[in-house]
């Protein structure tokens, strides 16, 4: 069990699953309970998921060794990536809705796609560690 929990991919998936749950719950509540506009619900929920993801990944998933960049730089890179992701998510969710796909399903589809490219960006750029070269 310790070997599984120590695995970076497992940690990433668990951190991402937590961020996913927070983001989707916020999206659902904002869209269906608070009745906010689709773009507002998508954007705000994305922010909640982003904060959950950043904290979990920085302090748990990729927290081995000294980072090449400080927290401020990591957050700046993370925010830039998040902004790009936010634009992509809003475009895709809106596009899915325009072709008749329920926004709740469109949001789920985009939330599955994002972690795939984000993992490599996090590992190689944002949360990269110093080497002993």
* Residue 17 domain-assigned (yes or no): yes
Q: What is the pLDDT of residues 10-69, one digit of tens each?
A: 888 899 899 989 999 999 999 999 999 999 998 899 889 888 988 898 888 887 767 888
Domain range for 78 is: 2-126
pLDDT of residue 30: 96
* Residue 74 domain-assigned (yes or no): yes
Burial of 71 (0-12, 13-18, 19+ CB in 10 A): exposed
User: Which three-class secondary structure state does DSSP give residue 20?
Assistant: helix
Give buried/exposed letters for 93-102 (b at 16+ CB in 10 A, else e): beebbeeebe
| More confident: 123 or 132 | 123
Question: What's the domain count of the chain?
Answer: 1
């Amino acid at each position: 069990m310790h070997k599984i929990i120590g695995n970076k991919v497992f940690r990433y998936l668990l951190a991402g699953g937590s961020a996913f749950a927070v983001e989707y719950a916020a999206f659902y509540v904002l869209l269906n309970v608070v009745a906010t506009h689709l773009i507002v619900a998508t954007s705000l929920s994305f922010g909640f998921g982003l904060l959950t993801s950043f904290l979990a990944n920085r302090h748990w998933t990729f927290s081995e060794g000294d980072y090449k960049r400080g927290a401020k730089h990591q957050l700046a890179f993370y925010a830039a990536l998040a902004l790009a992701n936010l634009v992509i998510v809003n475009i895709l969710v809106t596009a899915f809705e325009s072709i008749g796909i329920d926004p709740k399903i469109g949001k789920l589809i985009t939330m599955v796609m994002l972690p795939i490219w984000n993992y490599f960006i996090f590992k190689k750029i944002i949360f990269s560690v110093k080497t002993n070269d």
